Amino acid sequence: MDNEYLATLRRNELESVLALLAKHGVRGGRLLEIGAGTGEQARALSARGYDVTAIDLEGSRYASDRVWPVIDYDGSVFPFEDNSFDIVFSSNVLEHVAQTEHMQREISRVLVPDGIVVHVLPSAAWRVLTMLVHYPWLVKVTAQAILGRRGSGRAAPGTEERSGRFGGGRAALWQRVLYANRHGEHGNALNEAFYFRRARWVRVFTLNGFRVVGLIPSGLLYSGYALFGHHLSIPVRKRMAALFGSACHVFVLRRCNRGAKGASVK
């Protein structure tokens, strides 16, 4: 999956994020993006009027393709003072974090008391579809290799690098090819659909002092491989999402008042 194709998907998902923020009365402010990658979404958010700061790991695979000033950090402590941001945003990041509780504490620390958090996270539908297309993808890249084509058989970011982005190791090349690997830091390819359930993420947020105040599907369906890529248009992917489920969920969170219980979403 090339960066251009990935950026197309992320730009469309960002529209869902912006609509949800507007619904909650948020149309600007100091925004921190965690795991910003190339900075494509940070740039888009800045163009919409947000005061954006973006961070990612120094060793990010996107470092050489950045289109926005992304601050390198150690993957543990955010290099900012307490109460620095009105909004914290991440897109397809938390599933790659081994120490989820620690990152939730860091998010809470840099967020102003009445701030808002938005996480875009892969769904069970994404996990199942990615498993189903693994071997068709393998046939595709094998045929391309035989024909001497280069580059277009690359797995999606996060599928290829299971991720070293925020902890954990990389699977050996032969393992990635022969069978579908897990995408995130917990479970395996067979049971990740359980880890990517909405209810499971709601529980994670609640246990770490947040309440879910908004939750919508991203409205697009795609897998972790560029099996069809641009050959399936955004309108087609939207129709597929309506039938089979979206590739991602969009969560909006606020910190719980001391002593209050987090919201429950079924």
How confident is the model at residue 50, as a pLDDT? 96
- From the list 71, 66, 6, 67, the residue with the least C-alpha distance to 33 is 71
Q: Could you tell me if residue 137 is inside a domain?
A: no
Query: Does 153 map to a domain?
Result: no
CA-to-CA distance for 121 and 123, rounded, in angstroms?
6
Q: Does the residue 201 lie in any domain?
A: yes
Q: If you search the block for the tokens 């994404």, which residue do you land on?
A: 126
The answer to whether residue 15 sits within a structural domain is yes
Question: Does residue 65 lie in a domain region?
Answer: yes
Q: How many domains does the chain have?
A: 1
Residue bearing tokens 């972790």: 224
Residues constituting the chain: 266
pTM of the model: 0.84
pLDDT at 2: 61
**Residue pLDDT, tens place only, 84-132:** 999 999 999 999 998 889 999 999 999 999 999 999 999 999 999 998 8
Q: Does 44 map to a domain?
A: yes
Partners of residue 210 on adjacent β-strands: 255
Q: Has residue 56 been placed in a domain?
A: yes
Q: Report the C-alpha dihedral over residues 53, 182, 193, 54, rounded to 10 degrees.
A: 0
- The predicted pLDDT at position 178 comes to 65
pLDDT of residue 169: 42
The residues of the chain scoring below 50 in pLDDT are 150-171, 259-266
Q: What is the CATH number of the domain that holds 105?
A: 3.40.50.150
Q: Structural domain of residue 35, as residue ranges?
A: 3-125+185-255
